[in-house]
Structure formats: C-alpha cells, structure tokens
C-alpha cells in the first residue's frame, strides 16, 4: 500500500477562463470538499479550436454545485482524460482538483474493480462479478490517490463528502490522514444484502473503508440496514438500530433518496421551443395513438430487453397493431470498451430489428431505437411527447429518469410504468408498478398504463408530482449535510 503523506506545499491554480495562474496557500484551503470519480465539468472545444470547461449534466452535479459555490468549496475528481497531469483550476466559483488516472488505472480500477466487480455484485449479480486481485490492487491504489488529494486541499475541520461505489475506501484512508475532518459518504447505487455481499473476497476492507465516515448515506432504508448488519457480522462491531459503534466514535447510516431539480425541469418544459419540439416528435412518429418512451444508459441492469419483449408480445398477441403504439427507446452509450456491453448492444439491436421485421409496416416501425445521447432540451421534449414513460430496471439505486418525467408532466396526462426494483418505487407509489422479470405481467400492466383514463392518469400523476416537487435535489443535499454537520439523528427509515 502506498504511504500517504500530509500536504505541506502550496497549490497551483489555473483559471479555466483566462489562463491566469494563482497560488493558493494552505490558509486558503477549502472548508467544504466533494470527492467523486469525475469532476463536475467536461472539456469542450470551441469553433476557434480553443478548449474550455463546461458544467457536466446530471443530478449529482446539479445538486452539489450550488452548495459548492455558496461555500467556495473544492471538488476532487478525474478530469476525463487518461495520462494527463493538470494543476488545480477554478471554474464557476469552485476549486477543481484533478486526480491523474493512467490508461491502466481506467482499465483496472474503473472498468475492472468498480464496474466488473462491484457494479454487478451490488446489482443482485445480474451479471457475474469478476474477482481478481489485480483489479482490487488497482482500486486500493486509486482510492489512495483520491484520499491524498483530498487531504491536501481540505482546511482544518473541513466537511468532506465522498461520492459513490468507486471510492469506498477513501473515508478510512482520509481519516487516517486527517482525523480532524468531518467525513460523509453517499452510495448512489444499491447496497446488497448479506447473501450477496459476503461473496466479495475484500468484504471487510470495503466495510472498514466506509466506516471511516461519520455518516454513510444510502438511497433506501434497505441499503442502510444491510450496511449496519454487515458491519456487525464481518467487522465484529456493536450496532444499535442505524448506528455502528467503534472504539472512539459512532458511525451513522441513513436513507437519503436523491431527487431532481424539479423547478428547473418545470421551467424547461414550459418554454415554447420545447413544447413545439414535443409536438414535432409525435408528428415524426406518425401521430400514433400512444407513444411509449424509455431513456436509459445502455446497461444490463436497466431491463431494456425485457421491456421491449413485453411490448413486442402485445403485437404478437394481436392486442396491438401497427399504428396503435410506438416505442421510443434511447440507450445512451456506456462502457463501450467492455465486451459485455458490446454484446448487450448487439443483442438489443437484433431484438429491435426482429420486432420491426415481424410487426412494422413500411415507414412505420413499432420500435424506434437510438444508441446516442440527447441534450437536456431534447429529453424534456421527449418526456412531453410520451404518453407512457417506461422505467423498468432489474435493479436500480434510484433512477432519476422516473422523477424527471413526473416533474415534466404538469399537464397530469402521462403514465409512469415503474419497476418495483427501482429505488424510486419507494416514493412514487402511484406509478404503474411492475416486476420486470415477469414479462406477461409487464405487458398487461403496460397495456393498462396505455389505456388509463384521463382521470386516473391525473390522480396518479398529481400524487407523484407532489412528492418530487417537495423532495427535490436541493432538499436531498441539505438533509444529508445537516445530518453530517450537526448532531441530529437520522433514522434508517427516513425518506
């Protein structure tokens, strides 16, 4: 294990806007630090060939950037390019601290242990996890790098918020370097029960890493309960409800379900441009009686194949005919260097081609499949155009697409078909809930959502919108930080 060291030297900071270099002394370190696998900005190249930084899309960035700006915080993360050394720089009121990752780090730590070992294990072993010591060693090595960078930038007594499954060892490493810090950790994906987690050869090391935090947050009460139970079993620690007792301190676990920026989405779908585009989408699709929509990252946990099979069976059974309904499935490219994901893409494209070949008519496919990314405006227009939003993951920590759709439907006219195994199902009780493994049940529930009366749709949507608007992403971040910084007890059943 690499020897970690306290930081003593000043930090060089480069302004992303004008290229001016500043020197930040140790007295100017940050009182609030976020640590995540990626920085909250993407590098973009303008028409003039000049590179600049633009804020990344996504719920995590949306939630935390305003907090960072208010506190003049720092964000530690990888900048997105391998084998690149960058000095810390400032952008949008934040100090951004890049962590260097080599091509081998990305292969072994990110694509390897994070996404070939932890991701399938934490998602109910939908795919077989890979257990290799070489991948684990890389995970340890990169977590050490993140912990060191964080220790270097954090002020005395700072609040540090570590994010997600790629960095589960950072809390303990950081506490060993900087016991003065207040450390929180939030896991954005599910945390598995004992019968799955105990497969992991490094189960104790992961738990001890998380126990370095003062507060460990999860998407659901089940995740928090699993963590407490596993800490008792494999670390031989005393626990009481949602607390784990160490020799010198107590670690709390709680449920903090993440959400979306509802007000931003409501404003977006209220613009004439988005509304006009939504109408154009329906026209481009041939103005079918019903438009169903799926928006997912291309991943085996999302249940894309199962939902398309259920939809296709409605045509096979002659319940639907061409022109009755069109399914629009967007699959955002993901982990394209991983063989399993390339195979998944091929299988879905074959499935779509077969369905259209059997049941479509000339110029009128029953499934429109796009393997690409879309802008925020285009997604908002798609949400408005869709009569039924289909969110049917086999396992998901939360799934913000479901909440985005609900926030966008101020007209109360859409239906949400939602998997029981998405974290969002714990909150959106009025959705049309399904077991995505049950193809027959899914297709019947899908048909029910398609043909729900306007009164029923409005009743269901009104209830879900109330939840999403009242429990937005700003409330999520605030509740976690209040629980971390204060002495409040946050129960496992919260949220």
CA 139 to CA 39: how far, in whole Å? 18
Question: Can you read off the two tokens belonging to residue 308?
Answer: 């398309």
Which tokens belong to 97?
Answer: 């601290």
Token duo for residue 222: 């089940």
Rg (CA), the chain: 23
How far is residue 326's CA from residue 337's CA, in Å, rounded to a whole number?
31
Phi, psi of 330 (to 5 degrees): -100, 125
CA 58 vs. chain centroid, Å, equals 8
Q: Report the C-alpha dihedral over residues 102, 104, 109, 113, rounded to 10 degrees.
A: 170
Active site residues: 188, 396
Q: How far apart are CA 226 and CA 233, in angstroms?
A: 10
- Torsion, CA 405, CA 189, CA 75, CA 2, rounded to 10: -160
Instruction: Determine if residue 419 is left, alpha or beta; phi over 0 gives left, psi from -120 to 50 gives alpha, anything else beta.
Output: beta
Angstrom distance (rounded) from CA 431 to CA 345: 28
Beginning with the edge strand found earlier in the chain, give each strand of the sheet holding 325-332 in spatial order.
367-370, 325-332, 290-297, 388-391, 415-419, 432-434
Please choose, from the candidates 294, 310, 291, the residue with its C-alpha nearest in 3D space to the C-alpha of residue 302.
Answer: 294
CA 482 to chain centre: 22
């Amino acid at each position: 294990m690499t020897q970690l060291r306290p930081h003593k030297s000043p930090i060089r900071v480069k302004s992303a806007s004008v290229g001016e270099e500043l020197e930040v002394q140790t007295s100017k370190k940050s009182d609030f630090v976020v640590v995540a696998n990626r920085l909250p900005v993407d590098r973009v190249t303008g028409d003039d060939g000049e590179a600049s930084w633009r804020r990344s899309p996504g719920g995590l960035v949306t939630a935390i950037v305003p907090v960072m700006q208010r506190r003049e915080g720092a964000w530690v993360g990888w900048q997105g390019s391998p084998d690149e050394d960058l000095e810390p720089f400032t952008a949008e009121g934040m100090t951004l601290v890049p962590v260097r990752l080599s091509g081998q780090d990305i292969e072994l730590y990110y694509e390897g242990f994070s996404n070939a070992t932890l991701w399938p294990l934490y998602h109910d072993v939908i795919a077989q996890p890979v257990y290799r010591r070489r991948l684990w060693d890389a995970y340890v090595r990169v977590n050490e790098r993140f912990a060191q960078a964080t220790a270097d930038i954090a002020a005395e007594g700072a609040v540090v918020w570590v994010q997600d499954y790629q960095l589960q060892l950072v809390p303990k490493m950081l506490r060993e370097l900087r016991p003065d810090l207040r450390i929180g950790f939030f896991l954005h994906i599910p945390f598995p029960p004992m019968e799955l987690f105990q497969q992991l050869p490094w189960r104790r090391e992961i738990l001890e890493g998380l126990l370095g935090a003062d507060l460990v947050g999860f998407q659901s009460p089940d995740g928090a309960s699993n963590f407490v139970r596993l800490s008792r079993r494999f670390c031989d620690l005393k626990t009481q409800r949602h607390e784990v007792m160490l020799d010198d301190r107590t670690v709390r676990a709680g449920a903090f379900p993440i959400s979306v920026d509802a007000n931003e989405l409501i404003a977006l779908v209220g613009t004439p441009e988005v509304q006009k585009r939504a109408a154009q989408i329906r026209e481009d699709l041939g103005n079918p009686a019903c438009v169903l929509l799926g928006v997912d990252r291309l991943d085996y946990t999302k249940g894309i194949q199962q939902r398309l099979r259920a939809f296709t069976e409605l045509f096979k059974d002659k319940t639907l005919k061409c022109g009755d309904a069109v399914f629009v499935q967007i699959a955002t490219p993901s982990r394209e260097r991983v063989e399993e994901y390339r195979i998944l893409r091929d299988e879905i494209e074959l499935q779509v081609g077969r369905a259209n070949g059997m049941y479509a008519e000339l110029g009128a496919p029953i499934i429109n499949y796009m393997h690409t990314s879309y802008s925020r405006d285009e997604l908002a227009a798609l949400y408005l155009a869709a009569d039924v939003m289909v969110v049917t993951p086999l396992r998901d920590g939360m799934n913000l697409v479901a909440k985005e759709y609900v926030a966008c439907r101020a007209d109360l006219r859409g239906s949400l078909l939602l998997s029981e195994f998405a974290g969002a199902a714990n909150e959106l009780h009025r959705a049309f809930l399904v077991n995505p493994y049950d193809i027959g049940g899914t297709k019947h529930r899908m048909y029910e959502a398609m043909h729900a009366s306007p009164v029923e749709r409005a009743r269901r949507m009104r209830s879900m919108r109330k939840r999403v608007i009242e429990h937005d992403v700003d409330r999520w971040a605030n509740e976690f930080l209040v629980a971390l910084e204060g002495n409040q007890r946050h129960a496992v059943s919260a949220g």
